[in-house]
Amino acid sequence: MRVGYTSVADSDDVEMHVLPLGHDSTDRRGLTGAGTIAALATRSGAELLAQCPRLADLLAQLQTALAAQRADAPPTLFRLDRLDDAERSLLGDVLGEGEVSGIVALPDRRVAQIQESVFAGLWRVRIEGEAGARAHDYLEIGAVPEIAARAALDFPSPEIAITSPPEGAMNVMPVLAEIRQRMAAHRAGDASHVINFTLLPMNPADMEHLTATLGNGPIQLYSRGYGSCRVLATGARYVWSVQFLNAMDTPVLDTIEIGDVPAAVRAADEDFQDSSERLGEIIEAYFA
């Protein structure tokens, strides 16, 4: 199943495209972890501290916050407006590009871009500015950026309207009934309920009716970790299309999850501790 956020001619839908990782106005691409070390290794610690004192202070704050963060705790935000252009550029080198990226459509038709850094649980979020204005740009430490978690609750409908099935439908009606029941029963923090379409026979008529009933949501997230994963919010609250993909970008596991933001794109407790330690190593090696 692919329930995406699409653009329909002559409608008010917001057209959403997943931007290249590290996208910005200069088309500068971010770096992986290995690229981060290579970029920093060309400068001495004294040079970095002299040229980027505010960045060095920010990195120390990030390391401390990562060590204290837990997956079920509120996120911690860090503004970047105190950094100059050189420090922002170097920050991009330090953060690199992690496994998860995506976009969130906001109610005012702007789009927020989300990029996890190479330090799992540390995210960079950019929100389009008004016409001619600079984009909002900040860092966030948490299981998933708050802007995505809030959109998952605020935008989708808490109920679905189940209409008569189309001709030729097989299993869509009991699936929709199960989804509706699970939506009503779910509470924040509960384990997600998974419906596996790889094992459940669903013909094209079933899938078309399911897609039309659930509708399109405001969130697209993509993980390129141990096997790629595409996570799309539907227009129904707590209901997500989660697809695990092979090297040809073909779904090998096609599911619906009813629950909070899926675990496939969330940071876990152990991620924060590991990220704090790795960021500390970079600070000690290049900024001390």
Structure tokens at 145: 């950026």
Task: Pick the range with the lowest mean pLDDT from 3-7, 114-118, 218-222.
Answer: 3-7
User: Same domain, yes or no, for 176 and 138?
Assistant: no
User: Same domain, yes or no, for 272 and 129?
Assistant: yes
Distance of CA 252 to the CA centre of its chain: 21
Query: How many domains does the structure of the chain reveal?
Result: 2
Burial 160-182 (b: 16+ CB within 10 A, else e): beeeebeeebeebbebbeebbeb
The rounded distance, in Å, linking the Cα atoms of 39 and 161 is 53
**In contact, 134 and 141? CB cutoff 8 Å:** no
User: Same domain, yes or no, for 116 and 201?
Assistant: no
Q: Provide the domain limits for residue 243.
A: 152-265
Decide if 135 is inside a domain.
Answer: yes
Decide if 5 is inside a domain.
Answer: no
Decide if 92 is inside a domain.
Answer: yes
Higher per-residue pLDDT: 50 or 75: 75
Q: What is the pTM of this model?
A: 0.84
Decide if 24 is inside a domain.
Answer: no
Decide if 208 is inside a domain.
Answer: yes
**Looking at residue 200, what is its pLDDT?**
86
Please state, rounded to an integer, the average pLDDT across all residues of the chain: 84
CATH number at residue 188: 3.30.1370.140
The rounded distance, in Å, linking the Cα atoms of 283 and 288 is 6
The rounded distance, in Å, linking the Cα atoms of 53 and 39 is 18
The rounded distance, in Å, linking the Cα atoms of 95 and 279 is 9
**Looking at residue 39, what is its pLDDT?**
56
